[in-house]
Amino acid sequence: MMATALQTQTVDLVARFPNSVAADARPGYSGFIVKKENLVEVATALRDEFGFDLLTAVTGVDYLAENKMEVVYHAYKTTGGPGLAFKVQVDRTDPVEVPSLINIWPGVDFQEREAWDLLGIKFTGHPDLRRILMWEGYDGHPLRKDWKEPFFEEEAKPFKSRWPDGQHTFAENKNPFRDNLNFPKDFDPEKYEVVKEDDLYASLERHSRKNEEGSLSTDHIVVNMGPHHPSTHGVLRVAVTLDGETIVGLKPVMGYLHRNHDKIGERNTYLQIIPYTDRLDYFNSMSNNFGYVTTVEKLMKIPVAERAEYIRVIMAELSRIQNHLIFIGMLMNDLGTMYTPSLYAFEERELILDIFEAVAGARMMCNYFRFGGVVRDVPESVMQKIKDLVFDRLPAKTDEMERFLNENEILVARLKGIHVLNAEDAVKYSVTGPVLRAAGVPYDLRRADPYSIYDRFDFDVAVRTNGDMMDNYLIRFDEIRQSLRILEQAIRQIPQGPINSQKPQYQVRVPAGEAYGRVESPKGELAFYVVSNGKPNPYRYHVRPASFVNLTALESMCVGMKIADFVALLAMLDIVMGELDR
């Protein structure tokens, strides 16, 4: 069963709210349009009456031509099944205000801040609406359609300056400031007053736990961990307030790797975006490609070649095993083992990357998937290598890693009993992926909302009940074993045949409409929201990353814990900055 476009017939929202909800009737679109004044009411009903307790994505879209800004919400049920999209449209004249849904689904926190930062949509009722990816004091809202970046050349690629009169110039020479810069008119840098980070520290102060009444009054220290820190898994900065060694307040600051993926995506053609998706979650380029290609195939309504489906599943599951091996290695590094477990894990990863290199051409940035299939077939010699790994080596090595680590007394003392998240909080904060499943909610996209051919395979959804760090760690081993199960079946069942249902072409025709495609990446739900208006490049291209939304739970997870546990808790969330900051 191919996952179809968002189905709405299960919920008759128009009948329930006849005066405030209308079905979205634009060609190629689905879902409901809700009036701004009734948004909170409708959202509460969706969560309580209809059972949509997991709100996965909040996206802003700028419809410049119709002078409207739209916010699109995608909601799902943790019991599985297709989801619901509902939108709210407001006029584009400043101030653009939409009620915040943070009291209904606290997981929308960071995503609403991102919509404010990049599109200028104010969410009334949000307790802490600051910029999240750019810095305070930045001029403008970058994703607006009338905002041009400093190195702007043309609205869409390919650029005319490259051919046939393509004399090479550096882009810096075309910009009046001789660099990737754009300042307002009559700007004087010497008279400029720097916008300090008072907002950040005031918000940290407001959200920190205070000393109890009557107890000894002590000072709290504010410590900035990162962005350059060996344990923050990339360039993430976390401002914590400490009472001795206990964390009483925490605010993450991100955007240190914001590479403008959404804006560049709007300039690229659909095919050209595929290598950029490789660089989102740079550990699993195969999963990212998978998510993007599935989304555009929904829009294009084309089938996928049979053999290619199996190859895609094989590559995605190998990617998952490789990611979990890195997770185990990096977690051990953070806990203080001086690199031996990570070296063992990386050895297995190198063998898997050899397969990617033989098939796709590169170890990490595979660029392997195309619309309708994959780009190249898997030759017999490489298939033999995959069989060797899946049937012989990887099960034995996973057993060895478990023997090596799981009963280690120091590991158990550091991980067992340290609470991460319980099921209710995890769903509230829109956490997906292994962290959600370790808390006891058996929500796995490959089973709940199957895409590609996952419904043909016999595998279990790895779930653990305690929700503590030990469970979060052990569930990765469970998932490796389930991936090996899927791989065995896929290798046995893979048919011969063509590897792409379409001919190779670099200009694809995508009809107008919207699509929301989601895959179970090893870190959680990775989803893409693409809006097309029939042109060769997308009108709006948004990535819903797993790490970004999972990080919303960090504050509630860490407040009350010791700072040494904080390092391990951050490792548990398994974040990647390429995905988080895009």
Point out which span in 17-25, 244-252, 290-298, 352-360 binds other proteins (CB under 8 A): 352-360
Residue 390 beta carbon to other proteins: minimum distance, rounded to whole angstroms: 10
Rounded CA gap, 248 and 209, in Å? 5
- CB of 449 closer than 8 Å to CB of 75: no
Sites for other proteins among residues 167-226 (CB under 8 A): 167-168, 171-172, 176-190, 192, 194-195
Number of residues near other proteins (by CB under 8 A):
109
Question: Residue 306's closest CA among 500, 517, 561, 531?
Answer: 500
Strands (E), 330-438: 369-370, 373-374
Taking CB under 8 A as the criterion, the residue among 48, 135, 303, 493 binding other proteins is 135
By CB under 8 A, residue 230 contacts other proteins: yes
Residue 412 beta carbon to other proteins: minimum distance, rounded to whole angstroms: 7
Taking CB under 8 A as the criterion, the residue among 239, 389, 426, 543 binding other proteins is 389
By CB under 8 A, residue 509 contacts other proteins: no
Point out which span in 104-112, 131-139, 450-458, 480-488 binds other proteins (CB under 8 A): 131-139
Rounded CA gap, 178 and 47, in Å? 52
306-335 and 469-493 are packed helices; what angle lies between their axes, rounded to 10 degrees?
Answer: 150
By CB under 8 A, residue 307 contacts other proteins: no
By CB under 8 A, residue 66 contacts other proteins: no
Residue 266 beta carbon to other proteins: minimum distance, rounded to whole angstroms: 11
Taking CB under 8 A as the criterion, the residue among 272, 422, 489, 502 binding other proteins is 272
Rounded CA gap, 403 and 472, in Å? 17
DSSP string of 135-164? PTT--S-TTSTT---TT---SSSSPGGGSS
- CB of 122 closer than 8 Å to CB of 92: no
Planar angle of CA 143, 534, 111, nearest 5 degrees: 30
Residue 143 beta carbon to other proteins: minimum distance, rounded to whole angstroms: 10
Rounded CA gap, 239 and 206, in Å? 13
Place of tokens 């006849």: 18
User: Collapsing DSSP states into helix, strand and coil, what is residue 90?
Assistant: strand
Residue 384 beta carbon to other proteins: minimum distance, rounded to whole angstroms: 10
Question: Residue 103's closest CA among 55, 35, 33?
Answer: 55
Sites for other proteins among residues 139-158 (CB under 8 A): 139, 142, 149-153, 157-158
Point out which span in 99-107, 291-299, 392-400, 545-553 binds other proteins (CB under 8 A): 392-400
Place of tokens 């760690």: 473
Residue 548 beta carbon to other proteins: minimum distance, rounded to whole angstroms: 15
By CB under 8 A, residue 354 contacts other proteins: yes
Say which residues have a Cβ less than 8 Å from residue 384's Cβ, sequence separation at least 6: none
Taking CB under 8 A as the criterion, the residue among 202, 223, 343, 564 binding other proteins is 343
By CB under 8 A, residue 371 contacts other proteins: no
Place of tokens 């660099």: 179
Comparison of 104 and 115: residue with beta carbon closer to other proteins: 115
By CB under 8 A, residue 227 contacts other proteins: yes
Sites for other proteins among residues 29-48 (CB under 8 A): none
